[in-house]
Structure 1
């Protein structure tokens, strides 16, 4: 038996001037329904249209409708909405995505009607909200009248996406495609950011991500991971390749295992076809998906969000460019909070280091005048740019400033260090800013698998001051005597700062670190000191006692040899205590030759770099 549809809307019986009306958004705006209202709006004025991000033709925000409508958006998107907000014809209401539903349910923003785009009813009379369950379901549950556009191009999605035809007061039938958004091309900056972010993702992790170049690049580099899960407010086309690769199984998820969980989708027709009648992808309201305690039920939750700027204390600006509101809070704080309290979770802020053709640094000494903080400095754990990963959790203001300067664009690092010095966050002896090692390439971080454990090799930098001091005090007297040829008693912060503040274009200092969450410990350090007159260098390294015999020193030495060869250095010199047989063996395995000195207690070894294998 055919399901009887509700009547066509008689707008003057459904709403009145001054009503507050919700409009479904993202890629599933009911355009034909909005147009039907416009065409039957005689006598109406001052209708407030409330919505989330709305893509496509947001005609209600055009100036010619300013007497009829005033938009109130929770997320600014699209030129018409942005211009209307800038000109005061529309409002922007900042709110966490998880809490928008409470504005409807507690009467803060009481809704007279909700306009939504739904699939045709099934044989039992259930219509699906399709690709835009998000806050639409909350609006439907908390409004006076539900008016629907019955649209056969709306996909039927699994989860809590259904409303019964009996809940719909009035409807029109209109077939319209959902807005399609093609994945943006991935440039070299996004590529490098994606590589760095992927290094923070372990097998079995659960992911949240947004839309844009950086999420696309990150997901590209996760295709060889295993048993990933997805719990994300949004799905984009980037997920298609990740699902096809087999990297996503959802079986390690600890909340909704076996299922992709989301609340809306924005992408191409291919994505909308993927979610249509797919029992493995479930859509739930944002109040459920974005609830931080629900997010935290996923162990190893990785939240990947972006920003417009980050200041040197870790404050994140994400919704405004100065006084100009640009987007919205969205789900960033929800997922940063949820990932922070997840067992093994990691909240990540990823952004390019510069804007406007590298003329503006996005890592700033202070937030711009008029800009607002979306995510506080207390919430941020990782900030990733194309220059690396800054780990901020548990860091002092001075330490996090140095971490963030390290991932800023090189041409802004000196300026940023000078700016923080004005506020006494950096002591007088901290004179040098971080430099990269060009020979390591665009990615300065190398992931190492050593006897089944994950470590990272990277340049030593000023932010490692305290870590190097801890490394020194972890050594036994014997290790210190063999390394320094005497028994040093102290490693002051000033001395440690001097050792980590390296001009890597001349001398080179590398370290191998172990990272457990935000806790980073140095396991081995290798360096060479250039003697420019003779075009030679002296090389040395030291390894934490618990890691000796695992090949860390050899890895560091081989990398240093490669760098020396690329720089055209003629010879590498090493001076080792005669009793330090393991270190001598490492050098000789790298083809260093003993040089006779007449003193068996001190061994000098030499490598002809040009002929090194």
Structure 2
């Protein structure tokens, strides 16, 4: 496979390169392996060629020990065979960079490029080749390098957007067909599925998404089938978007930037994905400096960024490029999209990760960052952290509140230790005695979505992190509501009292709430609970609903859930004590089957519901 110049004359590498030069190697699924092989075969007089690149799906032979005198590897993102090992062994370097900044490094000669080795499609009748599945930083390398040397591959898709390079920009080329590397769709395990479900609940209809690759992103996409009018503005896409685009779930109609188009910089997946983007007018590829620009990202209203992490500490710091001192991946586009989503009107930056390492022995929610670990995304940038145990909302939260939110979504076996650890360093008060507990009877996803009068609400357990929310809920009540709930005019809800009410042993007692999300805020509108009375194997039920949310069905729904859970826990009965003048609450209880009982108090009524094996079926039939 000879190398030719623009005049179709055979040329040698030494006409373009000399020892000590710096070359760029094409990215992701567009690594020009035939060019690398030809360079190695024709390199007798060359030494110490620095290679710069991001992720490369290849055997990456330039990073093997046998070629250490020819190539010096400088990875701007770590990944692919041999690269991570070369860096760990000190034979290669890692240069941390935001993807959006890398074009500037080339353009302003911070990392001047002597040559860019790229892969393109054959030219069309007008002389334009396509960068195909990897425009990303390849586009800027083409513009900045002294020489552009291309592998022309007939198997490279022709993608739309700003993906084209004219033949007069290419100084040398060789023709070599190369099947693009494929990434099989990952198998979705239970943990990834649960994380995906929780993340999908944060995505509203009409949102624009940035999403990556792997188990969790694929799981998120699987749970978006019932969403409407979603858009894509993402560094990359994988196979998971294909069916959502074909079905019209992703139609880009509500986008406010590049409306009507799915916008990305590269794609990786199976051959089905490469065939899908080939000539597809609805999917456009743009350079990283355009797609990853936080300013451009923020032009999309309701922008949702979904990224992963290696660990998150209890203040919200995100480590995602190293495991301790071992560099593992890179900064990539995470900060670009987190910042862009933060600036977007209605935007949501999300960090999603399993609560533990694969073996389950180590928590990925940590009291302090592992020594050597590097913070990629600061504690000031993160709005949501999601694990298989729920959603932690961090924006605007104090260190104390953040710690409690993150402990709530940590694996249960690590929660007590995390609470102990956090007391050593952060301002979690001594009266906060217990770590969060779960309500398994709600299901694996302890979050249920309900719609009342076309507004979405979420039913979930109360948790220690709700201390301030419960205070706000209390102080929103009228004097009349407080009298109905507490049978006296309660005037204060201290933090200590709020802490006691939200720090519930949910395995014994039960405390549920209805919340409404207004973009990044989570407001409590209703609370229902029972206190377990062991001597009678029963629970005493209590409710309070915001005045402006009454009559919508929240009380009935809360009571139905409480009855179901109490029945599953084999309680014999539920009891309640209600003021005689609280007609609305009496109606809710009696509709649920509670019977009035004798009361010695003149202003109160006692009610009782016997629980049987058929109770749950009866509730579901009524619903």
Normalising by structure 1, we get a TM-score of 0.99
Say whether 1:325 aligns with 2:343: no
CA contact (8 A) 2:528 2:543 kept: yes
For 2:310, the equivalent position in structure 1 comes to 308
Question: Structure 2 residue aligned with 1:57, among 46, 56, 59?
Answer: 59
Alignment partner, residue 378 of structure 1: 380
What is the rounded CA distance, in whole Å, between the counterparts of 2:9 and 2:350 in structure 1?
49
Q: CA RMSD in A?
A: 1.1
CA distance in 2, matches of 1:116, 1:32: 10
Deviations 1:494-548, CA, capped at 9 Å, x for gaps: 0000000000000000000111122111100000000112101100100011101
| Residue among 23, 26, 47 paired with 2:25 | 23
Q: Please, which runs of 5 or more residues in structure 2 have no aligned partner?
A: 619-623
Match of 1:43 among 45, 57, 61: 45
**405, 425, 428: which is aligned to 2:427?**
425
Give unpaired runs (5+ residues) of structure 1: none
Q: Deviations over 1:563-600 (max 9, x none)?
A: 00000000100000000010000000000001123655
Where does residue 191 of structure 1 map in the other structure?
Answer: 193
Residue aligning to 1:455 = 457
Distance of aligned partners of 1:51 and 1:449 in 2 relative to their CA distance in 1, 3 Å threshold: same
2:497 alignment partner, one of 495, 498, 504:
495
Provide the residue aligned with 2:176 in structure 1: 174
Q: What secondary structure does 2:196 align onto?
A: helix
Report Cα offsets for 1:300-343 as digits up to 9, x if no partner.
00000000000000000000000000000000000000000000
- The secondary structure found in structure 1 opposite 2:29 is coil
Counterpart of 1:538? 540
Are residues 106 and 539 of structure 1, via their aligned partners in 2, closer, same or farther at CA, if it must alter by over 3 Å? same
Match for residue 522 of structure 1 among 513, 521, 524: 524
Q: CA deviation at 1:368?
A: 0.4
Secondary structure of 1:554's match? helix
Which deviates the most, 564-573 or 75-84? 75-84
Indicate the residue corresponding to 1:553 in structure 2.
555
Q: How does 1:26-425 map onto structure 2 within 5 Å?
A: 26-425=28-427
Check conservation: 2:6, 2:168, Cα contact below 8 A.
Answer: no
- TM-superposed deviation, 1:242: 1.6
Paired residues of 1:6 and 1:169 also in contact (CA < 8 A): no
Q: Distance in 2 between matches of 1:23 and 1:280?
A: 28
513 and 201 in structure 1: CA distance in 2 versus 1, 3 angstrom threshold: same
TM-score, normalised relative to structure 2: 0.97
Tell me the distance in 1 between the aligned counterparts of 2:399 and 2:600: 52
Q: CA deviation at 1:7?
A: 3.9
Instruction: State the distance in 2 between where 1:9 and 1:261 align.
Output: 38
Preserved CA contact (<8 Å) 1:471 1:523: yes
What secondary structure is seen at the aligned counterpart in 1 of 2:146?
strand
Superposed CA offset, 1:43-90 (max 9, x none): 110000111100121010010000000111111112300111111111
Distance 1:82 1:357 in 2: 22
Query: How far, CA to CA, are the matches of 1:280 and 1:480 in structure 2?
Result: 56
**Residue 537 of structure 1 contacts residue 572 of structure 1 at CA under 8 Å; is this kept in 2?**
yes
Q: Is the 8 A contact 1:220 1:241 kept in 2?
A: no
Relative to 1, partners in 2 of residues 1:455 and 1:9: Cα closer, same or farther, differing over 3 Å? Answer: farther
Output the CA distance in 1 between the equivalents of 2:222 and 2:408.
Answer: 25
DSSP-derived class of the 2:82 partner: helix
For 2:504 and 2:9, the matched residues in 1 are separated by 75
Distance 1:243 1:134 in 2: 22
Whole-angstrom CA distance in 1 between matches of 2:220 and 2:122: 36
Distance in 2 between the 1:282 and 1:142 partners?
22
- Structure 2 CA distance for partners of 1:424 and 1:330, relative to 1, 3 Å: closer
How far did 1:238 drift?
Answer: 1.1
- For the 8 Å contact 1:6–1:168, the answer to whether it is kept is no
Q: Which moved more, 1:544-553 or 1:390-399?
A: 544-553
Separation of aligned partners in 2, 1:411 and 1:429:
21
Aligned-partner SS, 2:376: coil
